[in-house]
Structure 1
Amino acid sequence: MSDFLQSMAASSAKRAAAVSSRFSSADFDKPLVPLTLGAFDVIAEIKERSPAEGALKSVTHDRVGQAQRYADGGALAISVLTEPSRFDGHLDHLEELAAAVPGTPFMRKDFLVDPVQVHEARRAGASGVLLITTMLSDARLREMLDAAWQHNMFVLLEAFDEDDLARSSRLLEHSRDADRAETGQLMFGVNTRNLRTLEVDGQRLATLAPLLPEARCVAESGLKVAADAAKVAGYGYRAALVGTALMRSDDPASLIAAMRTAGGGGVAA
């Protein structure tokens, strides 16, 4: 694990330790919104800061408006950064948005290391979570997935390299995971950002394409325009996670719609 990931894991573990492991059924009464899959989908991300890019367009006073624009563009789900130290995120942001933009699935994006963080995400109104394969042992990954399945949440499982993809793909040997992968409840992501250098290597999507599992796969980081969606669709990806480009766009709804159309082979979504 890189120094950056080690730092994020340590910080995340401290946050997890501060969360009570006691939950009641009433804690999970917020609506769970299922995914509605298309030919090519966009998971649209809200983040105010990136370690690589610095401060992005401030949505502090219009966070809800940004999320609504994403929904208007037809985003499959809205990813919300909840990591506080490097991304200026907070779980309260997700809770606020999930309540304000009903009918759209929200995903907690963070450096999650403990099942309690999956439970608290559901309590806040998240319908899904992102898990980073390289941060989790096989046993802990199993616990995290089972926590998500307990709530019928969706999972985006993120890989960085061949080893990560191999570990992720082995999950399909288990019927409880394979069944969810078949319906899109379990998706597999490839992140083009090297978390050691924080640089994006767009070739990674092509390099790892032959190793993609038989499931819905998501291209992450570095996609900026509709042509990028068409390119990764040609590699076999069925969705893209897009953050910085949307945060900087004057018309994120149109960009999402254009990406969905381009990735779907020119067919309007």
Structure 2
Amino acid sequence: MTGAAVTGPVLRAERVTLGYARRPVVHDVSLEITEGGVGLIGESGSGKTTLARAFLGLLTPMSGNIWYGDQTLKKVDMRTFRKDVQPVFQAEALDPRMRIGRSIAEALPRAERHRVPELLEQVGLAPELAGRRPHQLSGGQRQRVVIARALAVGPRLLILDEPTSALDVTVQAKVLDLLASLDTERLLITHNLAVVERLCKTSHVLFAGRVVESGPTAELLASPAHPYTRALRDAVPKLGESPRRRGGVRRRCRRRRAARSGCAARWR
């Protein structure tokens, strides 16, 4: 099976339940990564990173299946899969002992390691930076290096886990411009609504391990139907407003058990 043989969504989850030590943390989730980018929105502990690990083949579902094209991940050629689906971690994932050029070259066959300067230029970095170590670069530069390393194998899909969380606003904007310009599908894991609005055509909101709302990102954020989505949106500070003292989003639900069962009615 080759990457070119995969048509339609690169990855999709079909009634997937995931957990650790036989304890479910993601419950009966079905979604697919479609053209235009897909966002997974939720607080820490909502299950979005766990779901991303399953999409990368790093976590086996307790029930349900992850599909790559017309095959489940249990049956695919993982060498092809690893080329087609690449993670983009936060900048801290770089080995501090390794020079930037060598870090990118790791992902390339020996015969293609001459492409390192080209990959640096693709993400807006000077080729001379290949000789530096991570601590000699800014946070934004390090994040671009992580993106360049993921792009080295020519993936169809990037899975991005909070790629701008440690960056200041100006650098965030530059990294988002870069990601938006790439001709690659993306699954974005984030709690930042502005980031998902910029990069994702479709979004899914996770709460307590369940998808509580899905739809086109612009519509979902403009008119959220679920109280949890509204609470996430309303928690974003607005220019000119005084900060409001309010409890965490989870405290708005009287019973976590009600949220797990899909009940959206018992909110304060």
TM range (shorter): 0.3 to 0.5
Structure having the higher helix fraction is 1
Question: TM-score, normalized by length of structure 1?
Answer: 0.37
Structure having the higher strand fraction is 2
